[in-house]
Structure 1
């Protein structure tokens, strides 16, 4: 799957953040949790908790030189439900550690709208960062993956997930990917392993969404 293949189907990618996070993202990059923990020098038991346990609420971090950031919560994910839908011998801690090495984007406005319309999100102000897929994929293609499920949610009937859930875009064509998935799946998420320090150069829009209740 080339950057052109992906961008033809999904020309924009959408990332949801806490309000006013852009100033730090522009400075540090859009980085995964594990890289942020490296930068903010979080080690030991606190690091293991943040990487391998569910975050039920946003987690603020402060560093004397880097300032303040907030790690996104993982409210839609329940470890008990996650344990029942994991393959390949993975534990909930393993899956959470996998998520924390990636940055996540919705691949369409529809997926974004479903996430923002969920009851737990309606009363929260959020910022949505919109990126040019082709630009981002050309710059970071070796680290970019596609995913057919909401990998951070176990609400209702959670999809099974395992080592094959994330597929590097260079691994196979879009047609082969859909055939491998049984012809039923479409790209719901796009991920970037590690993240991107140059993320500001791929931004096309910032949106502030206010609570609806």
Structure 2
């Protein structure tokens, strides 16, 4: 676990800034999800429904192009159960008002093509304490940023938007240009990550991280910020 890539393959300067400011990344998955993630990788929702055999057309569209008011469980005779997380923090009319050049269905498709990580631990803590999450246990993965960036830089995007949140009077504008490559993202070069200025809200990896074992530092079962069990 936590294998580091060969340091001779250095990151570009902007990637180094990202790694220096945010040495760890955090992903929240469903309770009990680690064995499946360890086996199949951390898949995007679109990659997951394909692997779990959800039929193309209307069955996939119902998952990938609409808001999920509740989590969805998929069953497979060989792979077992996979849980697709709900999107309760998105208020549909607020999202529609915030979108600049997309229909809501297109935004959901974009989200479902990616897996997301927080770069600041406080954002992880805020999510775990949120009303829709605090009563439940969750699987929390902590990844090494250096390792992930070295392996997946071409598929990594950054955004200033909290992509899974859109509420009345608090939905950030968003659209096709919300996701930028590390090179394109206007990231500061200051010495320390800021707790007051939102430089980058989330890091996304297109289609997911199949070699997740190579980048994991910790895997914990948590509820409302409290560690209940540690697997890695």
| TM-score, structure 1 as length reference | 0.90
1:52, distance to aligned residue in structure 2 (A):
0.4
The aligned length equals 204
After superposing the two structures, state which structure 1 stretch, 162-171 or 194-203, moved more.
Answer: 162-171
Q: CA–CA distance in 2 between the matches of 1:115 and 1:70? A: 18
Cα deviation digits, residues 170-205 of structure 1 (max 9, x gap): 3356249xxxxxxx6411110001111101110001
SS in 2 for 1:82: helix
1:68, distance to aligned residue in structure 2 (A):
1.3
Question: Counterparts in 2 of 1:118-157, with a 5 A limit?
Answer: 118-156=130-168, 157=170
Check if 1:167 corresponds to 2:180: yes
Cα deviation digits, residues 118-155 of structure 1 (max 9, x gap): 11211111121000001001000000011112111112
Q: Could you list the runs of 5+ residues in structure 1 that have no partner in the other structure?
A: 177-183
RMSD between superposed Cα atoms in Å: 1.7
Give the counterpart of 2:59 among 46, 60, 63: 46
Cα deviation digits, residues 85-134 of structure 1 (max 9, x gap): 1012x111010000000000011101111111111211111121000001
1:211, distance to aligned residue in structure 2 (A):
5.3
Q: CA–CA distance in 1 between the matches of 2:164 and 2:100? A: 15
1:45, distance to aligned residue in structure 2 (A):
1.3
* Greater helix share, structure number: 1
**8 Å Cα contact 1:106-1:112 kept in structure 2:** yes
Alpha carbons of structure 1 residues 201 and 53: separation in structure 2 relative to 1, 3 Å: same
After superposing the two structures, state which structure 1 stretch, 137-146 or 77-86, moved more.
Answer: 77-86
Q: CA–CA distance in 2 between the matches of 1:31 and 1:189? A: 17
SS in 1 for 2:90: coil
Check if 1:69 corresponds to 2:82: yes
Q: CA–CA distance in 1 between the matches of 2:125 and 2:198? A: 19
Alpha carbons of structure 1 residues 33 and 81: separation in structure 2 relative to 1, 3 Å: same
Check if 1:35 corresponds to 2:47: yes
Q: CA–CA distance in 2 between the matches of 1:187 and 1:211? A: 23
